[in-house]
Structure 1
Amino acid sequence: MLQNKKAYLAALLYTCIIGFSFLFVKLSLTVASPLDTLAHRFTISLLVAILLILFKKIRLNITFKDIVVILPIAVLYPALFFSFQVFGLVYTSSSEAGIIQATIPIFTLVLATFFLKEHTTKWQKISIVISVAGVIYIFVMKDLNVEGANIKGVLLILLSALSSAGYNVLARKLTKRYQIFELTFIMTIIGCVVFNSMAITNHITNHTLSRYFLPFTNEKFLVAILYLGILSSLCTSFLSNYALSKIEASKMSVFSNLATLITMIAGVIFLHEKLHYFHVVGAIIIVIGIIGTNFSGNIKNMSHSKVKNNAG
C-alpha cells in the first residue's frame, strides 16, 4: 500500500514537471531551434547522470546484453517520441497534435491488455475515455477553426503517440527486471546521441555549425535548458520508470492528460493567458477520468473482499 502511494506521488510529481516544462520550452525556443533544444537538454541530462555515477551517488551495473534488452524502450522514448512530435508539428497545428496525443492512454490500454495481460474494469475503460474526451474538448473549444489536417503531420503525431504508449508498456515490463536508474541512464544516452546527431547534421547541412553552442551564452536559455535537461528529462524518466514499476501502464498513462491541464494552468498564472469556461469544464472531466481510472478498480476489489468476509 505504501509503495502504491509512493508510485502515485511519483506520477503526480512527473505530471507537474512535464506540465510546467511547456513554459521553459517556449523560453528556449526564443533562442534555439527545436532540434538544438532537444539536443542540448539531453546533453545536460547525460552529464548530470554521469556526475551522479562518478560521485558514487548511484551505482550502475549493466552489461552489453542488458543494453540490447533495454534499447527498445530508449528508442521508443525519448528518440522516436520526440522525433515524430517535432517533425509532426511542422505539418500540423498544435491543436490537432494535442488531440491526437490525448489518445495515448487509449493506445496504452490496448497494448497493455494485449502484451502485459493487464485487466481493467469496465469503469476504468470508460474513465480513460472520459479523461481523453476532456483534453479533446479543451483543444476543440480553444481553436474551433482548426486547420485542415495534413495527413503527413497527423501520421507523424500518431506515431509519436504510439511510441509513448509502447514505452509505457515495455517500461512496465522491464522495471521488474532492472533498476530504475539503469533504464533511465540508457534512455538518456540514446536521447543524447540521437538528437545531437540530428542537430549537428542539420547545422552541417546549413553551414551553421559554429552557432551550435551559441544559445548557452543566453541566460534565459541556460535557465530553461537546465530545467528541461535535469528535471523535465532526467528526473521525469526516473519518476515515470519508478511509477511504472509499481502501478499498471494504463493507470500511469492517463496522467499525461493531467499534464496538459497543468500546462494550461501554468499559462494562465505565468503567461497571463485567459481562463475560459471550457478550461474549467475540461479540467473537471479530465480529473474525473483520472480518479475513475486509478480508483474504480480498487473500489471493486474492496467490495469483493467485503462480500468474501461476510460469506466467511
Structure 2
Amino acid sequence: MKKLRRFAPYFAGLIFSSIFGFSFLFTKEGLELMAPFHLLGFRFALAFLSLSILRIAGIIKIDLKSKNIKMLLLLALFQPGIYFVFETTGMIYTTSSEAGMMIALIPIAVTILAAFILKEKTTFKQSIFVLLSVFGAALIIFNRGSSGIEGNLFGLLLLGVAVIAAAFYNIISRKLSLEFSTIEITYVMMGFGAFVFNIIAIYELDFSLESYFSIISDRDALIAILYLGLLSSVVAFFMMNYTLSKINAAQAAVFANFTTVVSILAGVFLRGESFYKLQALGAFLIIIGVWGTNYFGRPIIRKETYNERI
C-alpha cells in the first residue's frame, strides 16, 4: 500500500499531462465543427458549471470576500482571456502537434519575463537551456515543409502571443497565490472565460440560442466539448494539484515535457499530420531546454508551500 502511495503522484502526473497533450487534438477537431468562440464558450461554461456543482456539494471551497478581485480579473484577462483566444485561433492555421511544441515554450517565456519584471536572476546553465529551447522553436517555425495549411506561419505567431500571455499569467499568479487558493483562482478563471467567450459567441450567431445549442446534436462536437470542458479543465486540474502537493516543482516540470510528446504523437498518428526531421530535432531541444531550465533553476516555491495552499 505504501508503494502505491509513493507512485500515486507520478501516476496522477502521467494522467494530467496525457489529458493536456490530447487536448490539442480535441481542440483541432472542435475547430473543424465550430467557430473558435463558440467552442471556447461551451468549454468554459461546462467547466464553470462543473466546478459550481462541486462548490455547492461542498467538495471545493471558494471564499472571495475581502480579497483583491481586481487583480484576479487582470489575471483572468491574460488566461483564459488572451491566452485561449490566441491559442485557439492559432490552431486554425497550424497542426495540433505544432501547437503542442509551441506551447511547451511557456516555462521558457516565464523564465525570461521573470528576469526582466521580477528581477529574478537566471543561472548560466539556465541561460544555455533557454537558448536551446529558443533554437528549437526556430527549427519548428522555419522547417515546416509543405504544411498544407494556409497561413501556417501566421498561426505559429498567434501561438507565440499565447505563450507570452501564459507567461504573464504565471508571473501574476505568483503574487495572487499568496492570497487566493489554486481552486479559487481556477474558479474565477473558468467563470471569466464562460462569461466573455459566450457573449462573443452568441453575438457572432446573431443572438440565436437555437444556433448556439444546435451543435450539441453533433456527436463529434459534443465529444470535443466534453473532453475539453470536463477532462481538460476539471479532472486534469485536480490531478495536477495532487501531483504538485506531493512532489517538488522541478520534478513536476518533467510532466510538461510529456504533454508535448503526447500532443506530437496524437497529431502524427491520430490525425496523420506531417512531422519533419528538423521539427523532431526542434521538439527535442524544446523538451531538453524546458527540463534544464527547471532543473537548474533556483527553487522559488517550496514543496510545503504547495501543501499549505491546497
Q: Same fold (TM over 0.5)?
A: yes
- Equivalent residues of 2:38, 2:198 under 8 A apart: yes
- Equivalent residues of 2:97, 2:263 under 8 A apart: no
- 2:145 match: 143
Q: Report how far residue 27 of structure 1 moved.
A: 2.3
Quickly say closer, same or farther: Cα 1:161–1:227, change in 2 above 3 A. same
AA at the equivalent of 2:47: S
Among residues 162, 165, 176, which one is paired with 2:164 in the alignment? 162
Aligned pairs for 1:179-198 within 5 A: 179-198=181-200
Q: Deviations over 1:32-58 (max 9, x none)?
A: 222111100001100110011111111
AA at the equivalent of 1:79: G
Aligned pairs for 1:47-126 within 5 A: 47-63=49-65, 65-87=67-89, 104-126=106-128
Q: Report how far residue 68 of structure 1 moved.
A: 2.3
- Equivalent residues of 1:105, 1:254 under 8 A apart: no
Please list every run of 5 or more consecutive structure 1 residues that lacks an aligned counterpart in the other structure.
300-312
Q: Report how far residue 187 of structure 1 moved.
A: 0.6
Residue range with higher mean Cα deviation, 43-52 or 91-100: 91-100
- 1:16 match: 18
Q: Report how far residue 22 of structure 1 moved.
A: 1.6
Q: Deviations over 1:191-226 (max 9, x none)?
A: 11110011011111xx75421011111222222111
- Equivalent residues of 1:96, 1:149 under 8 A apart: no
Quickly say closer, same or farther: Cα 1:274–1:97, change in 2 above 3 A. closer
AA at the equivalent of 1:74: A
Work out the percentage of aligned pairs sharing the same amino acid: 37
AA at the equivalent of 1:45: A
Q: Which has the larger radius of gyration?
A: 1
Q: Deviations over 1:160-194 (max 9, x none)?
A: 33211100111122223221100110111101111
Q: Report how far residue 116 of structure 1 moved.
A: 3.4
Give the TM-score, by structure 1 length.
Answer: 0.75
- 1:223 match: 223
- Equivalent residues of 1:105, 1:128 under 8 A apart: no
Q: Deviations over 1:104-146 (max 9, x none)?
A: 4443223212343433211112112212322432343233689
Give the TM-score, by structure 2 length.
Answer: 0.75
Q: Report how far residue 158 of structure 1 moved.
A: 4.8
Q: Report how far residue 267 of structure 1 moved.
A: 1.9
Residue range with higher mean Cα deviation, 95-104 or 34-43: 95-104
- Equivalent residues of 1:113, 1:119 under 8 A apart: yes
AA at the equivalent of 1:127: F
- 1:306 match: none
- 2:286 match: 286
- 1:296 match: 296
Instruction: Find the aligned partners of 1:79 and 1:241 in 2 and give their Cα distance.
Output: 22
